[in-house]
Amino acid sequence: MKRGILVLAYGGPNKPEDIEPFYTDIRRGRPPSKELLDELTERYAMIGGSSPLLRITTDQANGIEQAFEGVYKTYIGMRHWEPWIPEALAAMHADGIEEAVAIVMAPHYSKMSIGKYYGIVDKYLEEHPAWKVNINRVESWHTHPKFIEACAKKIEVAFQQFSPEERNEVMMILSAHSLPVRIREWNDPYESQLQETSKLIAEKLNHKKWMWAFQSEGRTPEPWLGPDICKVMEDLHQKGENNIVSYPIGFICDHLEVIFDIDIEAGDIAKKNGMKLVRAASLNDDDTLIAAFKDIISGEFAKFESF
């Protein structure tokens, strides 16, 4: 039985020319206004003109493949840009993959996030009924001990930028991508999973002073989950809380939402108010994270053996 691993991620423009079609895809085929496009283009210019997401996801996929000593080939599929998820599935199909594990490079499940990735997978399988493949899908991995350990290690390094006397008084802000408030109408697990991850990280660090925030709110008229991290930063300053460690637990690698939202936007608020903001480094292809992926994927492959 030939097996493979499908590694899924959001996608991002690989060069400046990709920004407009990438943005159009996110908007379900509706081209952005010139104002919105100029704003996004400017933001990407601030981080080098393109997204590092594909490079980092490739490193992660290679790390997973190496962890399994090359026994299983990894295939990368992006939701909103190249290489597209259907392209990855077509490559798996051509390679004769009969059993596979699919995992999204995001720890927390929402119908509006992880659910969308697997909807694309389902559509491809429906359109190619001749391909007899079984795909086990990892829906969330937000409490895996090695994921929590990896996050805690990165945050601990950030804490070291404060004196031992300051450490316990530093406010730790944990954050993730905001989603529309309407996810609560269907009892979506997203918020509760974020809280579970946050509590486990705080316990692992034995750090009692922490709070929650959202970031990267979409440009739609409907209400989105909050509070936004920039408002949180302003409120903390008003309360005299000026030493901050930030960690976006909803993102496992560097890309626009991390570099712009935290380093630049929240960073500007910190500078304006004389605050010390330290963002803990992203996991990217961290060895402990790769070990977590190996455990998770091994567990999914083991399920095939039970049939």
Give DSSP secondary structure letters for 165-185.
HHHTTPEEEEEEE--BGGGGG
- What is residue 219's predicted lDDT score, i.e. its pLDDT? 84
Q: β-strand 171-177 against 99-104: which pairing, if any?
A: unpaired
For the stretch 175-230, pLDDT in tens is 999 999 999 999 999 999 999 999 999 999 999 999 999 999 988 899 999 999 99
Q: 171-177 and 73-78: which strand pairing? A: unpaired
Q: What is the DSSP letter of 281?
A: P
**Rounded to a whole number, what is the distance in angstroms from the first to the last CA of the chain?**
13
pLDDT at position 117 over 60: yes
* pLDDT tens-digit readout, 68-98: 999 999 999 999 999 999 999 999 999 999 9
Q: Is the separation of the CB atoms in 260 and 47 below 8 Å?
A: yes
Say yes or no to pLDDT of 307 above 60: no
pTM above 0.85, yes or no: yes
Is the pLDDT at 239 greater than 80? The verdict is: yes
Domain 3-141+286-305 has CATH 3.40.50.970: no
Average pLDDT, the chain: 97
CATH code linked to domain 145-279: 3.40.50.1400
Assess whether the region 3-141+286-305 and the region 145-279 belong to the same CATH fold. yes
192 contacts: CB under 8 Å, gap ≥ 6: none
Residue range 22-50, pLDDT digits in tens:
999 999 999 999 999 999 999 999 999 99
| DSSP β-bridge partners for residue 213 | 175
Per-residue pLDDT band for 306 (boundaries 50, 70, 90) equals low
CB under 8 A, 24+ apart: contacts of 264-267: 264/46, 265/230, 266/229, 266/230, 266/233
* Per-residue confidence band for 305, with pLDDT thresholds at 50, 70 and 90: confident
List pLDDT tens digits, range 129-178: 999 999 999 999 999 999 999 999 999 999 999 999 999 999 999 999 99
**Both tokens of residue 87?**
């392209």
Beta sheet of 210-215, edge-to-edge order: 210-215, 171-177, 243-248, 276-279
pLDDT the model gives residue 122: 98
Domain ranges of the chain: 3-141+286-305, 145-279
